[in-house]
Structure 1
Amino acid sequence: MDNSGKEKEAMQLMAEADKKVKASGSFLGGMFGGNHKVEDACEIYARAANMFKMAKNWSEAINCLNQAIDIYTDMGRFTIAAKHHITIAEVYEAELVDIEKAIAHYEQAADYYKGEESNSSANKCLLKVGHYSAQLELYPKAIEIYEQVAMNTMDNPLLKYNAKEYFFKASLCHFIVDELNAKLAIEKYEEMFPAFSDSRELKLLKKLLDAHEEQNSEAFTEAVKEFDSVSRLDQWLTTMLLRIKKTIQGDAGDLK
C-alpha cells in the first residue's frame, strides 16, 4: 500500500472513531454501552494515528493521538494517555524536530505517570526533559530535573547506581552557568549522596574545575580524554563539555 492508500485508510478509521464518539454522547448511547463505544473509538484513533505515521502525515497522526488523549484523561485512564503523549513527543523529536513541543509532551506524560505512582516511567520522561532543556540552554530547568531524578533514585537499591550520573549532569549544567555554582553544587551532592565522592565522574569534575580556574585548556582536554578512554562520551556530554571549555580564555573550542 502506498502513502496515499495508507492516508485514505487512516481517514476512514478517523471517521469511524468520530462516529463512535458522537454515538456514545447520545441519550441511547449512554444507556447502551456508551463507555464501550468511547474505548473502541480511542483504539481506532490510535490505529488511524499509526496509519498516518506510515503515510508520514505527522500533523494528522498527532491530531488522532490528541483525540484519544482527551478521552482517556476524561475517563481517568492516565497511564495510557501518558503513553500517547510519549508517542507525540517522539514524532516531534524525530520527524518534526520541534524540541520545545517534545519537552511539553514528555512533561505531561511525567505528570500523569507520577499521578499513577509509576515513578520509574515518570523518571524516564523527566530525563528526556532534562536532556533537551540543557541542549536548549535552559540550565536551571535541567538542573532541577536532574537533581529531582537523582533524589528519586538514590534511595532505591536497584537504581541508586544511576544517581551519580544525574548529579554529574546537574553539575555540568551548573558549571556552564558559573564555576562557583558548580563547586557549591558538587559539595551539596557529595553530602546528599556519599557514593558520588568516589565516582569517576566527580574526579573528572574536580580536574575540570582546576583546569578552568587556571584557564588551562590543555589540562581540561587531557582530563576529558582520560575519562573518555574508559567511559565513552556521548553526544550530550561532549556538547556540554565543549560549552564549558569555550569559557576558557583563548580556547579554540574543541576536545582534541
Structure 2
Amino acid sequence: MADNEAKARDLIAEAEKKLTAKPLFGGLFGGGGKTEDALEMFSRAANLFKMAKKWGDAGKTFSRIADLHKKNGNTHDAATNYVDASTCFKKSDPKEAAACLQRAIDIYTEAGRFTIAAKHHQTIAEIFEGEGADLDKAMHHYQQSADFFRGEESNSSANKCMLKVAEYAGKLEQYEKAIGIYEKVAGDALESSLLKYSAKEYFFRASLCHLCIDALNAQHAIEKYGELYPAFGDSREAKLIKTLAKTVEEQDVEAFTAATQEFDSISRLEAFHTTLLLRVKKQIPVEDDLC
C-alpha cells in the first residue's frame, strides 16, 4: 500500500514538471506531447492512490485530470474524470464528491445529455441523504433530476424523484408542497392500469399531510380522493384518516393512539407515516395541558 502511494506521488511530481517545462526551440514543434504524457502519468497515479485506498488523493488527481481535459477542450474526458473523482471522494469527502458531480453535470447539460445529467443529480441527492443529511439540498437535486427526466419523456423516473421530494417536503413540514406532488403522482398512476393500485399509498400520504395542517382539511381530502379513486375511499387508510380526524377534533389522544396501533398491527406503518402521525398526536392537548 505504502509503495503504491509513494509511486503515485513520484508520478504526480514528474507530471507537474512535464507541464511546467518549457518546450524545446521555443515551442516550434508544439507542446501537446508533454500534456498527453502528463495526463497518462496522472491517470496512473490516480489508480495507484485507489490501490492504496488514499481516496482523497485519488479524487484530487482525477479532478486534476478533468481540469486539464476541460482546459484543452476535451469535454467528454473532463466529465468522465469528474465522475471518477466523485466516486473516490464519496469515501472521504461527500461535499467534494457532490461538487465534482456538479462540474460533470454542467458539461453534460451544455452538451444536451440531459438523461445522464439527471442520473448524476440523483446521485448528488443521495449523497446529501447520507451522514450529516441536508434534506433541502437533497430535495433540490431530486427536483433537478425530475425536471431533466421529464424533459426527456422519462416520466416514470421523474415521478420517482418527485416522490422523494414529497417525502422530504413532508418531513420538513412543507405540507402543501408534499400534497401537490402526491396528488399529481397519484393522478398519473390512475391513468395506468399497471400503476393504479399505487395511487392508494400516494393519497394516504397526502391525507396525512392534510391531517398535519388541519383535521377538517383531512376530512375534505378523503372525500375528494374517494371520488377520484373509489378503492381509496373504501380503504383502511381512508377509514384511519377519518377516525384520526375525529379524535383530533374531540381531543381524544387515547382514541388516536388506539386507532393508530390497531391499523399498524394489520398494515405496518412506514417511517414517513409514523413521523407525521406523531406530529399530529402532539397537537392534541392532554389533561395536564388543560390545567
After TM superposition, the score normalised by the length of structure 1 is 0.88
Residues 1:168 and 2:204 aligned together: yes
Residues 1:246 and 2:282 aligned together: yes
Matched AA of 1:66: Q
Q: Determine helix, strand or coil for the equivalent of 2:90.
A: helix
Residues 1:51 and 2:88 aligned together: yes
- Return closer, same or farther for 1:251/1:231 CA change in 2, 3 Å cut-off: farther
Matched AA of 2:66: A
Preserved CA contact (<8 Å) 2:207 2:221: yes
Match of 2:233 among 197, 201, 215: 197
Aligned to 1:31: none
Q: How does 1:179-218 map onto structure 2 within 5 Å?
A: 179-218=215-254
Aligned to 1:32: none
Matched AA of 2:84: R
Cα deviations by residue, 1:134-181 (Å, 9 ceiling, x for unpaired): 111111111111111111111111111111111111111111111111
Q: Determine helix, strand or coil for the equivalent of 1:246.
A: helix
Aligned to 1:14: 63
What's the offset of the Cα at 1:251? Answer: 7.0
Match of 1:72 among 99, 108, 114: 108
What's the offset of the Cα at 1:213? Answer: 2.5
Matched AA of 2:68: K
Preserved CA contact (<8 Å) 1:217 1:251: no
Q: How does 1:1-256 map onto structure 2 within 5 Å?
A: 1=51, 5-24=54-73, 37-54=74-91, 56-250=92-286
Distance (Å, rounded) in 2 between the aligned partners of 1:205 and 1:2: 56
Distance (Å, rounded) in 1 between the aligned partners of 2:55 and 2:283: 51
Distance (Å, rounded) in 1 between the aligned partners of 2:221 and 2:160: 23
What's the offset of the Cα at 1:63? Answer: 1.5
Matched AA of 2:252: N
Preserved CA contact (<8 Å) 2:219 2:241: no
What's the offset of the Cα at 1:192? Answer: 1.3
Preserved CA contact (<8 Å) 1:92 1:98: yes
What's the offset of the Cα at 1:234? Answer: 1.8
After TM superposition, the score normalised by the length of structure 2 is 0.78
Matched AA of 2:212: I
Q: Which runs of 4+ in 1 moved over 3 A?
A: none
Preserved CA contact (<8 Å) 1:245 1:251: no
Matched AA of 1:38: T
What's the offset of the Cα at 1:96? Answer: 3.4
Which protein shows a greater Rg? Answer: 2
What's the offset of the Cα at 1:188? Answer: 1.1
What's the offset of the Cα at 1:109? Answer: 0.5
What's the offset of the Cα at 1:236? Answer: 1.4
Cα deviations by residue, 1:83-102 (Å, 9 ceiling, x for unpaired): 11111111111023111111
What's the offset of the Cα at 1:210? Answer: 2.2
What's the offset of the Cα at 1:245? Answer: 1.5
What's the offset of the Cα at 1:9? Answer: 1.8
Gaps of 5+ in 2: 1-50
Q: Determine helix, strand or coil for the equivalent of 2:194.
A: coil
Cα deviations by residue, 1:194-232 (Å, 9 ceiling, x for unpaired): 221121111111221222222222221111111101111
Matched AA of 2:105: I
Kindly report the root-mean-square deviation, in angstroms, between the aligned alpha carbons of the 2 structures. Answer: 1.5
**Count of paired positions:** 238
Distance (Å, rounded) in 1 between the aligned partners of 2:200 and 2:155: 18
Distance (Å, rounded) in 1 between the aligned partners of 2:259 and 2:132: 37
Preserved CA contact (<8 Å) 1:217 1:248: yes
Q: Determine helix, strand or coil for the equivalent of 2:192.
A: coil
